[in-house]
Amino acid sequence: MAKSTSSDAHMLIRSLRTAYAATPTNLKIIDLYVVYAIVTAVIQVVYMGIVGSFPFNSFLSGVISCVGTAGTCSLSPHSSQQRE
């Protein structure tokens, strides 16, 4: 049973690599920006956990802007494909 799971995982990784290789460069740049926004939000949450949340409204605005940016950027390629 473990061998089929391993081969399934290899097939999945191979198919993801081929699909990502066929992705246009513009969408790869958008993907990197989304990852940057998510990492920034995680850093802010970790900082709040370590230092504290004295200016809580600043923390909320920073995290919500990062999450909103990631959500908007990840939806824009879908909406542009629907228009074509």
Which residue type occupies 21? Answer: A
In a domain, 79, yes or no: yes
Give 11-67 pLDDT, tens digit per residue.
Answer: 999 998 898 888 888 888 888 888 898 999 899 889 888 988 788 888 888 889 988
Query: What's the pLDDT score for residue 1?
Result: 46
In a domain, 36, yes or no: yes
Query: What's the pLDDT score for residue 3?
Result: 58
In a domain, 7, yes or no: no
Pick the closest to residue 27 from 73, 66, 72, 82 (CA basis): 73
Tell if the pTM clears 0.85, that is, is over it. no
Do the Cβ atoms of 44 and 11 come closer than 8 Å? no
Q: Which domain holds residue 50?
A: 24-83
Query: What's the pLDDT score for residue 54?
Result: 81
How many domains, in total, are found in the chain? 1
DSSP class of 23: S
In a domain, 3, yes or no: no
Confidence check: pLDDT of 2 > 60: no
In a domain, 40, yes or no: yes
In a domain, 2, yes or no: no
In a domain, 62, yes or no: yes
